[in-house]
Structure 1
Amino acid sequence: MGRKSAKIAAKKGAADKAKGQIYTRALKDVFMASKNGSPDPSTNFLLKVAIDRCKKFNVPKDNIDKAIKKGQGSDGVGFSDINYEGYGPGGVAIFVETSTDNNTRTVANVRSYFNKVQGSLGTTGSLEFVFERKAIFLVNGSSVSDGDEFEMEMINAGAEDISFEDDLYEISSEVEYFGAIQKKLEELGITPEEAQLERLPLNYKAITDEDTMKQFDRLITLLEEDDDVVQVYHNLEVEE
Structure 2
Amino acid sequence: MAGHSQYKNIMHRKGRQDKIRSKIFSKLAREITVAAKAGIPDPSANARLRLAIQNARAESMPKDNIERAIKKASAADGENYETIRYEGYGPSGVAVIVEALTDNRARTAPVVRAFFAKYGGNLGETGSVSFMFVHVGEIVYPLAKTSADAMMEAGIEAGADDVTSDGEHVVTCAFESINEVSTALAAKFGEAESVKLVWKPTVMAPITEFEKAESLMKLIDALDEDDDVQHVFTNADIPEEIAAKLNPE
Q: TM-score range by the shorter chain?
A: 0.7 to 0.9
Partner of 2:78: 76
Pairwise CA distance, 1:54:
2.0
Pairwise CA distance, 1:85:
0.4
Pairwise CA distance, 1:50:
1.7
Separation of aligned partners in 2, 1:214 and 1:141: 30
Pairwise CA distance, 1:189:
5.8
Partner of 1:121: 123
Partner of 2:181: 181
Moved more, 2-11 or 82-91: 2-11
TM-score, normalization: structure 2?
0.79
Pairwise CA distance, 1:152:
2.7
Amino acid of the residue matched to residue 185 of structure 1?
L
Matches within 5 A, 1:215-234: 215-234=215-234
* 8 Å CA contact 1:162, 1:172 repeated in 2: yes
Q: 2:52 aligns with which of 24, 47, 53?
A: 47
Separation of aligned partners in 1, 2:67 and 2:41: 9
Separation of aligned partners in 2, 1:103 and 1:8: 27
Pairwise CA distance, 1:131:
1.1
Partner of 2:88: 86
Q: 1:141 to 1:41 in 2, by over 3 A?
A: farther
SS at match of 1:12: helix
* 8 Å CA contact 2:158, 2:185 repeated in 1: no
Amino acid of the residue matched to residue 207 of structure 1?
I
Separation of aligned partners in 1, 2:139 and 2:15: 23
Partner of 2:205: 205
**Aligned-residue CA RMSD in angstroms?**
2.8
Separation of aligned partners in 1, 2:16 and 2:83: 22
* 8 Å CA contact 1:14, 1:217 repeated in 2: no
Q: Deviations over 1:101-153 (max 9, x none)?
A: 00100111111111222421111111132211111100234444x76455333
Partner of 2:135: 133
After the TM superposition, list the runs of 4 or more consecutive aligned residues in structure 1 that deviate by more than 6 angstroms.
Answer: none
Pairwise CA distance, 1:228:
0.5
Separation of aligned partners in 1, 2:44 and 2:189: 12
Answering whether residue 194 of structure 2 is matched by residue 194 of structure 1, we say yes
For structure 1, the 5+ residue unaligned runs are: none
Moved more, 174-183 or 191-200: 174-183
Pairwise CA distance, 1:6:
2.5
Separation of aligned partners in 2, 1:117 and 1:3: 23
Pairwise CA distance, 1:219:
1.3
Partner of 1:103: 105
Q: Count residues with an aligned counterpart.
A: 233
Separation of aligned partners in 1, 2:131 and 2:114: 25
Answering whether residue 154 of structure 2 is matched by residue 153 of structure 1, we say yes
For structure 2, the 5+ residue unaligned runs are: 241-249
Q: Deviations over 1:59-89 (max 9, x none)?
A: 566655555555x264521110010000112
* 8 Å CA contact 2:116, 2:122 repeated in 1: yes
Separation of aligned partners in 2, 1:95 and 1:113: 13
Separation of aligned partners in 2, 1:140 and 1:26: 22
Percent identity of equivalent pairs? 31
Pairwise CA distance, 1:235:
1.2
Amino acid of the residue matched to residue 103 of structure 2?
D
Q: 1:165 to 1:30 in 2, by over 3 A?
A: farther
Amino acid of the residue matched to residue 154 of structure 1?
G
